[in-house]
Amino acid sequence: MTRTEIKSLLQTDPQEQDVLVKGWVRTFRANRFIALNDGSTLNNLQVVVDFEQYDESLLRRITTSAALSVRGKLVPSQGSGQAVEVLAEEIEVLGDADPAVYPIQPKKHSLEFLREKAHLRMRTNTFGAVFRVRHALAFAIHQYFHDRGFFYLHTPIITGSDAEGAGEMFRVSTLPMGDPPRTEAGEIDWKEDFFGKETNLTVSGQLEAEVGAMSLGKVYTFGPTFRAENSNTTRHLAEFWMIEPEMAFYDIHDNMDLAEDFLREIIRFALTHCPDDLQYLHDRIAQEEKNLPQAQRRPMPLLDTLQFILDNGFARITYTEAIERLQRSKPYKKGKFQYPVEWGRDLQSEHERYLVEKDFQTPVIVTGYPKDIKAFYMKLNDDNKTVAAMDILFPGIGEVVGGSQREERLDVLQARMAEMEVPEHDLWWYLELRKFGTAPHAGFGLGFERIIQFVTGMTNIRDVIAFPRFPKSAEF
């Protein structure tokens, strides 16, 4: 008999047909009712056991997280909470889970504890829901760009360039760690290394995506990126995934239009295709926040927040306007902001959230940032002080997307690189794009884990990636 997934069985008209189902035990009550889950859905299938038909030694093996194969009849459920159930006729234990040592018993566990059990935590309702939503969002992203004529470009993981100019990169080398070859001047001789030069794990696929855009028109990357940032926070990972579209013949306004539409559509997809999982996460947050002071609660419930993005046009303001609005605000006048608000400084999360949640009460796109706090590749505006950059700000999280029109003028780009001490010899190929058929182009980056956090309501970024990498931790 062919196995049927639980998601499908729960939607099947029960007519006492024979079925085969396999999954892991969530609970086994009164030696009679097994809650079985195979990961295909949040919802469990109830398996009804006539315990008098089975040997007691078999029943003792039906414990939380044991893997079972059950053959039986699909019938209308006699209890509340489910439409169908299976009357078991044959039960086989495929894999035991000793309750004396299995760490995730059916009780409340902290997210911190479950983080230490990343190899098992996906069997819980919370993490099963998070990772099904993660899949849906990944699929939605590929579908969105495919349907709009973009080409998926695989950019290199190992690179000789630092796209951001930040220097926080993981080195890739085959040289002996204790005694690497050296030049006459005593420096490490990178010519002896595998690639013949110093190489690192990528921090961004953007520069290579620009190469694709300047030939194929519209491309996007979706891959892992790495930052050797010693940040032990709820917002940072050493390894994370980025989505980076690049479009030839786009200016900053085209870029903003695309990013706004893109965010709306992938959130709409999640709401349409993951209703059970999102409802569960919504209810979980409401329960968690019930006893918190109002000031520590989310600005609005999870599902309301997601609908808020769909229902509201994104406000668009310049960085200069943002600074002026913040300086006129009550929190600023009462000294409530932790970080200073002045022209030339980057906006902090508290400033971004004020603009979205209190001032505009809509998502906000901020443009025209000072050139000194942005990357060398962003197009210099006519005022010579600001660049055609954009950040999209969401409630509860602040910045979710960053992008810009890219600097297509060779002389201006070279001047900016010199200003920011970015060596031309490392990016000779990037400069050649401006020599041969240069054209206006633009793009943006979305941290995949950041948008999953937003959609699922999870507060720690380590809880939306299967095996988080952060300082002093590379388990699994």
pLDDT digits (tens, 9 = 90+) for 153-198: 999 999 987 766 556 899 999 999 989 999 999 999 999 999 999 9
- Domain at 123-168+203-463, CATH from 3.40.720.10, 3.30.930.10, 3.40.50.720, 3.30.465.10: 3.30.930.10
- Name residues whose C-beta falls within 8 Å of residue 235's C-beta, 6 or more positions apart in sequence: 450, 461
Residues of the chain with CATH 3.30.930.10: 123-168+203-463
DSSP element (H, E) containing 304 = helix 302-311
Residues of the chain with CATH 2.40.50.140: 6-103
* 437-468 as b/e: b if 16+ CB within 10 A: eeebbbbbbbbbbbbbbbbbbbeebbbbbeeb
The structure tokens listed for 364 are: 């906000």
pLDDT in tens, 372-419: 999 999 999 999 999 999 999 998 888 999 999 999 999 999 999 999
* Residue 401 · residue 445 · CB < 8 Å: yes
Superfamily of domain 6-103: Nucleic acid-binding proteins (2.40.50.140)
Give the confidence band of 31 by pLDDT, cuts at 50, 70, 90.
very high
DSSP state of 358: I
Q: Which of 187, 43, 47, 66 is nearest to 125 (CA)?
A: 43
Q: What is the pTM of this model?
A: 0.95
Over range 206-226, report the average pLDDT: 97
Helix, strand, coil distribution of the chain in percent, nearest 5: 35, 25, 40
Given this model, what pLDDT does residue 227 score? 92
